[in-house]
Each structure stands twice: as structure tokens, then as C-alpha cells.
Amino acid sequence: MPSEILPEVFVTNGQLFESQGNYTKALDNYSKALEKEPANEAALLSTASLYLRQGHLEQANEFFTKAISVNPRAETFNELALVQQKQGLHADAQASIGQAIARAPQSLLYRNNLANMLVSVGRSDEAVKQLEQVLAPAQANYNVACLHFSNNNLAAAQQHLQIALQADPNLVDARQLMDRIVSNPTTKTAIAAYQNAAEVYRAVGQSSAAGPVTTIR
């Protein structure tokens, strides 16, 4: 009688089919591995990654979560967090990346991923604090500036670059990015708009503190 095919064989075959772009055959093999061993971590992770590659975020979330229930590794929490972020589940994503950081506190990758999540919801100062756990203050602010720059938020990027260069005037990468931003023809307009908005905000705050404004008609 032929020997029983082990789950690992199905996983290997699935990965081969996936590398060839045959996702249907790949998923079929991963599923067969899970039929034999539902808690097979390699099969769960391969299935999750395949779904993610295809843009099926809900299924990717499901299988990364199943893999975590088998083996709660930092790497898998990180993958789950990135999927949740793409789904718009910001609180869940931050909680998952927090679990990754709890297991690998010195990982710059995980801290940077959390910083990116925080920047995306307007919590730049918290992002800096997270990065300062593993980086010098100048480098932490530079990293946050890069995140803002990638989002085309030039005024915020410049603000963090100024802090970075105050902390370390010799930080070449920060200086180069600052020069690049300043030479951008749209930068002055963006910064002027940012400063104007800040002035309006302060003026409104001062008016509110002074009491209601009487309008002459």
C-alpha cells in the first residue's frame, strides 16, 4: 500500500504551484494539508499569505489568526496587523502590532510599522515616542518625517525634520530630505496653508476665550 502523504508534502507542493502562479492548485494543496492536520502552522501561514497576495483580506485575517492560535509568534502578529491596517481596522492593527512588539521589543520593523499606523491617524508624537524606544531622538523624528513625506504631508515632514536636525545637525539623511522638500515648488504653498490654518485656529481659540464676537450688520 502506498505510504500516507504527510501535510508537509502538500504544503511544499502548494508553494511550488504558488511560485508558478497557479493559485487554485496551491490553495487545493494547502487545504489538503489542513484536512490532514488542521493545526499545521505552515499550511495556515501559506494559506493566509496566498489569500493576502490575491487581495482577499478577510480570509487572510482569518488564517493568520488561526496560525496565531497555534503559535503566537511576533512575525505572525506583524503580518496580521498589516492585513488589519489594510482593512481599515486601525485599533485591531495597533493591538496586533503591539503583541508583536511585546514579543520582540527591539524590533525596528515592528516599531516602524506601529509608527506608520499612528501617523496615518494623526498621532505623530506617539509615533516618535515609539521609535525612540529603539532609535535616537533625531533618527526617530527623521523616520516620522519620511512617513509624512511618503504621504505628501510636506509641512509635517518639515516640522519633524527640523526637530531631527536640532537634535543632530549632522544627520545627513535628514538634511538631504529637508533640501529636497524646500526645493519642491509646492512646498511653500503647502507650508503657508499649514501656517495659515494654525493662525486661524489660534485666532478662533482666542476669540472664544474672550467671549462671543459681535457682528455689525
C-alpha to C-alpha distance for 67 and 84, rounded to whole angstroms: 15
Q: What is the pLDDT of residues 48-100, one digit of tens each?
A: 999 999 999 999 999 999 999 999 999 999 999 999 999 999 999 999 999 99
Q: How confident is the model at residue 151, as a pLDDT?
A: 92
Q: Residue 159 in 3-state DSSP?
A: helix
Of 89-98, 119-128, 141-150, 196-205, which range is least confident? 196-205
Over 70: is that where the pLDDT of 6 sits?
Answer: yes
Q: How confident is the model at residue 4, as a pLDDT?
A: 85
- Its pTM stands at 0.81
Over 60: is that where the pLDDT of 117 sits?
Answer: yes
Query: How large is the average pLDDT for residues 97-107?
Result: 98
Q: How confident is the model at residue 14, as a pLDDT?
A: 97
Q: How confident is the model at residue 115 (pLDDT cuts 50, 70, 90)?
A: very high
Burial of 211: CB neighbours in 10 Å, binned 0-12, 13-18, 19+: exposed
In single-letter form, the type of residue at position 146 comes to C
**Cβ-contact 97, 110 below 8 angstroms:** yes
Q: What is the pLDDT of residues 137-189, one digit of tens each?
A: 999 999 999 999 999 999 999 999 999 999 999 999 999 999 999 987 665 55
Q: What is the pLDDT of residues 32-54, one digit of tens each?
A: 999 999 999 999 999 999 999 99
In single-letter form, the type of residue at position 151 comes to N
